[in-house]
Amino acid sequence: MPKDRLLEPVYRFEAPSVKSVRNVFRRAHAVSEHLYRESGVWGESLLEGCPPMYRNTSRRIIGYAEVLKAGGIDEREKNVYYKRVLEGAEYLLREQQEDGSFLWWAYDRSGHPNTHHLLYCSAIAGCALLEAYKLSGEERYLDASRKACEWASRFPVSTNTNYNSFAVWHLSSHYMETGEERFLESAIEKTVEGVYPRQLPNGAWAGHNSWIFYHSIIVRGFAALYGALPEGHEAKAELKARMIMAVNHMIVEQLPNGYFRSCWDPGEWARTRDPKHPYSVHREEMFCPFTIHALVTVLEMTDLDKGSGSIENALRGALGSKPPEDLDSRGSIQLAYGAGYGWLMRRSKTRTR
């Protein structure tokens, strides 16, 4: 896979309208309101007597924040979305552990304290708290984001590539807001030691991380770190080359309908065809909200698409493709369409100047 240039698109896509993307977000919000349990909590718990997964709240906070920043909505929507952001942030504050982490309420009622699963849970909650801070100016949210970064910085590099990339996303985002160098250094370390080693010549990662949603999470981490690194930083050149390879893999994997092949690794695909496997529900192609979020991050945090247009084309296809019927996906639709709506709004304003 080329690492010095972006590939030409396999298929060409038209951009969806701002109105159509905003309408999907509104419909997702309506579905979300039926799942709202008050006090910043959405959805059902996976384990009896335990909280729902914090991603349910965190993704929605980030999506609502994106739409609020972009504008173009009425006062009633502004008020409801802002209220949900603050309610969600207050809930996350209550749930944060003393050490700064957020527990993973799946498979075990302990919440898996001090395990690598919490790199994922703590990063997405931390990013949500950071977005709530940017909107509200409430220092408690920034302090909580910092605590989550401190926990992630102390925790060793994970054997799971996408867990490291979750942490990199948050560490880089927090650094960009505060300039706290130790978090940038931790993001570099987790990328160099926990993401680079397993990248293959095709730009992707095998096994568990061969799924397009995990690949997208890794790409988002690359883009967040690239955007955080000062111009001329010694880590930037290799990061850019590896990110180009990873984005090229996404370009190759995109299908004529804007969807993506779910899993490129034949061994991983075969292993998960057992009906008892949780990933057996995935078809060969999928709408992937995390791909939308990753592509927006690449476009807005890097210069990769300058003079090419291949990344914007991929995003147009993904954002214009048909979303799932239930419009829930535990908040991932709001995460994706919030980012996509924000990108379209900023794009339209830039083009009218």
Domain residue ranges in the chain: 18-351
Of 3.40.50.1450, 1.10.3720.10, 3.40.50.150, 1.50.10.10, the CATH number of 18-351 is 1.50.10.10
Task: Output b/e per residue, 192-216; b: 16+ Cβ within 10 A.
Answer: eebbeeebeebbbbeebbbbbbbbb
For residue 351, the model assigns a pLDDT of 65
- Residues contacting 109, CB < 8 A, separation 6+: 47, 49, 50
CB 142 within 8 A of CB 113: no
Averaged over successive runs of 10 residues, the pLDDT of the chain (353 residues) comes to 96 97 97 95 93 97 99 98 99 98 96 98 99 99 99 98 99 98 99 99 98 99 99 98 99 98 98 96 97 98 94 98 88 97 91 57
Compute the distance between CA of residue 76 and CA of residue 81 in angstroms, rounded to an integer.
Answer: 9
Q: How far is CA 284 from CA 263, 270, 290, in A?
A: 7, 11, 17
Q: Give the bridge partners for 137, in sequence order.
A: none
Under DSSP, the state recorded for 197 is G
Compute the distance between CA of residue 53 and CA of residue 46 in angstroms, rounded to an integer.
Answer: 8
pTM of the model: 0.97
For residue 219, the model assigns a pLDDT of 99
For residue 326, the model assigns a pLDDT of 84
Task: Tell me phi and psi for residue 36, to 5 degrees.
Answer: -75, 130
